[in-house]
A and B are shown apart, each in its own frame.
Chain A
Amino acid sequence: MKNALRKNVVALFFIAVSLIFLVKLFYIQVLNEEYKFSAKNNVLRYDVLQPVRGLVFDRDSNLIVSNQPAFDIIVVPREVTKIDTTVFCNSINIQKVDFIEKLNSAIEYSKYRESIFEKQIDAITAANFREKLYQFPGFYLRKVTKRIYPHKNLGHLIGFMGEVNSKKMKEDDFYIKGDLLGVSGIEASYENKLRGEKGMSIRLVDVHNRTQGKFNNGEYDTLAIRGKNLISTIDIELQKYGNQLLYDKLGSIVAINPKNGEILSLVSSPNFDPEKLSGKNRSKNYKKLINNRTKPMFNRALLGEYPPGSTFKVINSLICLQEKTLNVNNFYNCDGKYFFEKDRSVKCHKHTSKVNLSDAIKYSCNPFFCENFEKYFNKFDTSEKAYKNWFAHVTSFGIGDWMNNDFFSGRKGLLPKADYYNNYYGENNWNSSTIISMSIGQGELLITPIQLANVSAIIANRGFFYTPHIIKTIENELSIDSNFTNKKFCSVNKEHFKYVIEGMFDVVNSKNGTAYNAEIARFNICGKTGTAQNPHGDDHSIYIAFAPKNNPEIAIAVFIENAGWGSKWAAPIGNNLIQKYFELKDK
């Protein structure tokens, strides 16, 4: 090869290498985004600033949920050196095995990044720990807030907090691993209002994870915004009194202000202390509660489904009045039994015979309502038509469907559709006699306490209701959900209510009424007892009431499980609560 050519070969070789470099550089600098991402991963640390959770007050501005400073222990495994684990474990009261397990799980997550070693230790423990912190490189304390529930036994109402699960994290990118959120009660249903907004601080770190300053001088940093405070509709004194009334009983009380649907108290017994389900002993306590035979975690007021018993007679009489198959002036002769078939009858208890509607309610006369139920069915040419019409009426009282209140959980209860009977008995093969127990609130019918309390409110209002709700005001929001402020009417006209209410007034205020109590006459309580047959045990004792008779302020429903006659337990408890309500009001 000639030398002239050779010099070109050398030069070309230089140029070729430069070009290869440029192509490679173009690829990694311009085409490939991966390196830019990795660079950010290298230097940017996103510190989440946890917002302070909103407070909850009762209707008279008593604090019922608050916050208290607590501390998380943070660990950066890479920085941890040989430390005296005995001193460490003693100072925060954990076992050595826990220490090893926690440290290993942190190492598994990342050696270089911080993870939470121990959650929510209290301020005193934290102060002790802080003194020894210099002995434990790699461990830090981070201030957080802990939920405090000043009143015990409000677990069902307020709910409790729990760690977010992976499903929720996928649905809502607000949450990251280790976050707490409301699991039940108000904490859960108003989670989005209470949680506030997280802040973010972005800092630059060097290769040793030492902070080197703020990213872009903090231009992208945001502050945490605290959660909104809530004012509940609950009257904490009445609630506590309700808890006392149900002490050692299985049951529930729901009290509503019929004028606006505000829930004054919602008691489910037995109850639990929400604070037991936060902090260190959470899982131990949770296990205890969940295994308890009396099911203290089960919110009977929202989730318990019972036959309404005789309280349902009130609804049936209103439907019959609306459909004009019941004349208030007509008297019925009760002979203690109602034969709906030749040899099958519904029994009654002893009371003076010849009853009109008000009397029938006062005495809770079974045959009267059976008779009128049949009369109502006879108005229609087929049972199915009659039932469908009846179904529509009952539904308008908020029975058999979701209540759409502001609780996280609820039940529909059970109001069978006509198809159910068509399937069960065959079309045209059933009539009022077949389902006669519906006339007295038995049979397939199931209702939750909060639904029944709403029924009580409808009667108090003479035909309308506001969906019961637990939150009255949300901070910085003009009004609550319009679902709670819209008046909803039932299908029975206002004028029919007065006869029923007369009967209910007599129940409490007439000597032979099922819930007679002379001492509370001044409150003008109207009520109706019920006794629901229970296939699993003793009858449930049930009571609905409202007061005063004119312009009512409180409407209640009381269920006491396996307690027998409504007049025996539920009615006195209900009347007692109403009495307390007025006493508190006069204070």
Chain B
Amino acid sequence: MRKAKNIFENIDYLSVIFYLVLVFIGFFNIYASEFNDDANEIFNLSKRHGKQLLFIFISSLIAFFLIIIDWKFFFSLSFIIYAISISSLILILFVGKITNGSLSWFDFGNFRIQPSEFAKFATALALARYINLFSIKKFNFSKTILCFSLVLIPLLLITIQNDTGTALVFLSFVLVLYREGLTENVLIFGLSIFLLTIMCLILDFFVFLIILFFIVSVIFYFLKKKKKNIINILVLFVFCIAYSYSVSYIVKNILPKHQSDRIMVVLGQKKDPYGIGYNVIQSKIAIGSGGLIGKGFLKGTQTRFDFVPEQSTDFIFCTIGEEWGFSGALIFISLYLALLLRILFLSERQRSNFSRVYGYSVACILFVHFLINIGMTIGLFPVVGIPLPFISYGGSSLISFTILLFVFLNLDSYRLQILR
């Protein structure tokens, strides 16, 4: 057991500092994006920045509470928390409230909760606990299937809620599993599928076939010309064609129009500055107009005058880019990266699989948010609505990420006691 006086000695304060700095960067940028010429008091609960301040306060209390309780609480309750989370995801399909087209909120009068935010935390715990069960770090087929099932259940449930962004976040667990020994072929396979998907969407189908045929011929040339290889390659070739054909069919005919349009805009296949592309164009204009040193705090015209939609939530990075410029963005991204790498570093020093897997999960979840959110504001990723952890406005999001991080900091503070 950790001794009481050691509680605060064993906390990784560097992470806490990163956390606090990011949270307050978030607060000031929410303030800036809400700022107008009237009613600018900091403590104004009718304004988003005022509410965010309240959320920060609540999060701090939760963080403090999470630090002082015993690690075994999380360890032993992992599967139960997971079960509760999955149940709430199912329940919401029947009693949830639709916001921005997604059925993902529980509504309690003035207070709303988005269970999918907490499902990430629950899944991370459950996955850590499950991998901790087997001592030898080796994935056999059934274990792999079970690991994927733990991730896929919430992913599918959230997809049904029509919250694609949050569902995508669950793919971050693939990175965790990779760290834990999943064969790298999974990554290579994923990457190939990704490239194949993009190629079949941006190229004319006929051109695509020619390129594919060329690649296959080159592979065939370098491999030994055995009969077995020829068959393998032919199978692969047919698979590629079948896959590409179904992808383009799904994108063009099955996906809802707004989603397929978003994909096409990011791939540069569609230009529509006042329709689907509007968000991205305005977001890029806001960030681009920041220049090297930015326009200064509260001086951003694009974000303040509502040219950028969802500017305090999903597009909060625009305010950073516009008011603080490239130098601000550089500092911000470095800070974020520093936090991510710090968590990876902390994870690696854990003695127990449980703590390490959980730590990796935290880092990867935060990373995927970072990737998708900033990627979409600068036009590298389709517009999918997910928040930038610690920065974006929103109670559910801030509290869930605080829980995610501080549970890990709690585990880290017990690293000398947790042996397995």
Contacts and interface: CB of A to CB of B under 8 A. Distances in A.
A478 interface: no
B367 A29 contact: no
A43 B307 contact: yes
Nearest to A111: B274
Nearest to A40: B289
Contacts of B348: 7
A21 B304 CA distance: 24
Which secondary structure dominates where chain A touches chain B? helix
Interface in A35-49: 35-36, 38-40, 42-43
Interface string B391-408: 000000000000000000
Interface string B305-328: 111000000000000010001100
B156 interface: no
B341 A22 contact: no
Contacts of B165: none
Contacts of A9: 178
B181 A39 contact: no
A-B pairs, 9 with minimum CB distance:
A35-B288, A39-B289, A206-B305, A28-B288, A29-B326, A43-B301, A207-B306, A18-B337, A38-B285
B286 interface: yes
Given A10-B175, A21-B378, A39-B285, A207 B307 contact: yes
A38 B322 CA distance: 13
Interface in B331-366: 333-334, 336-337, 340-341, 344, 348, 360, 363-364
Contacts of B302: 39, 42-43
B378 A42 contact: no
B175 A3 contact: no
B371 interface: yes
Contact of A36 (B291, B364, B380): B291
A18 B378 CA distance: 13
A28 B340 CA distance: 25
B329 interface: yes
Contact of A21 (B282, B306, B374): B374
B55 to A, nearest CB: 26
A67 B286 CA distance: 45
Interface string A212-229: 110000000000000000
Given A3-B181, A42-B285, A29 B333 contact: no
B340 A14 contact: yes
Contacts of A30: 291-292, 326
Nearest to A215: B301
Contacts of A87: none
B96 interface: no
A32 interface: yes
Nearest to B326: A29
A14 B334 CA distance: 11
A42 B380 CA distance: 23
Nearest to A8: B344
A208 B306 CA distance: 8
A43 B305 contact: yes
Chain A interface residue count: which class? 35 or more
A202 to B, nearest CB: 12
B289 A35 contact: yes
B375 A21 contact: yes
Interface in B168-222: 175, 178-179, 181, 184
A14 B333 CA distance: 11
26 contacts: A3-B179, A7-B344, A7-B348, A10-B364, A11-B344, A14-B344, A17-B367, A18-B333, A18-B337, A21-B333, A21-B374, A21-B375, A22-B329, A22-B330, A24-B378, A24-B380, A25-B333, A26-B326, A29-B290, A32-B288, A36-B288, A36-B291, A39-B289, A39-B302, A43-B301, A207-B306
Contacts of A22: 329-330, 333
A205 interface: yes
Contacts of B321: 25, 29
Contacts, number: 118
B286 to A, nearest CB: 7
B137 interface: yes
Contacts of B306: 206-208
A394 B364 CA distance: 98
Nearest to B37: A213
Given A11-B344, A29-B287, A206-B307, A20 B380 contact: yes
A26 B287 CA distance: 10
B301 A25 contact: no
B284 interface: yes
A25 B330 CA distance: 9
Contact of A29 (B325, B360, B370): B325
Given A22-B329, A24-B378, A213-B37, A3 B371 contact: no
Contacts of B344: 7, 10-11, 14
A474 B304 CA distance: 49
A3 B348 CA distance: 10
Contact of A207 (B305, B329, B340, B363): B305
A204 B305 contact: yes
B350 to A, nearest CB: 12
Nearest to A210: B305
B378 A17 contact: no
B374 A7 contact: no
A13 interface: yes
The listed residue with most B CB atoms (<10 A of its CB), out of A21, A24, A212, is: A21
The listed residue with most B CB atoms (<10 A of its CB), out of A1, A25, A30, is: A25
A10 B179 contact: yes
B378 A28 contact: yes
A205 B305 contact: yes
Given A7-B348, A14-B341, A43-B302, A25 B329 contact: yes
Interface in B256-314: 281-282, 284-292, 301-302, 304-307
B284 A28 contact: yes
Nearest to A112: B274
Contacts of B285: 35, 38-39, 42
A15 interface: yes
A34 interface: yes
A204 B326 contact: no
A25 to B, nearest CB: 5
A20 B285 CA distance: 19
A252 B380 CA distance: 76
A344 interface: no
A24 B377 CA distance: 11
Interface in A303-357: none
A587 interface: no
Contacts of B292: 29-30
A39 B37 contact: no
A208 B370 CA distance: 31
A32 B179 CA distance: 39
A204 B330 CA distance: 29
A18 to B, nearest CB: 5
B289 A14 contact: no
Contacts of A284: none
Contacts of B340: 14
B284 A35 contact: yes
A329 B379 CA distance: 101
Given A11-B341, A18-B333, A30-B292, A39 B286 contact: yes
A46 B148 CA distance: 59
Given A14-B340, A14-B367, A21-B378, A42 B301 contact: yes
A7 B289 contact: no
Nearest to B182: A6
B37 A17 contact: no
Contacts of A38: 281, 285, 288-289
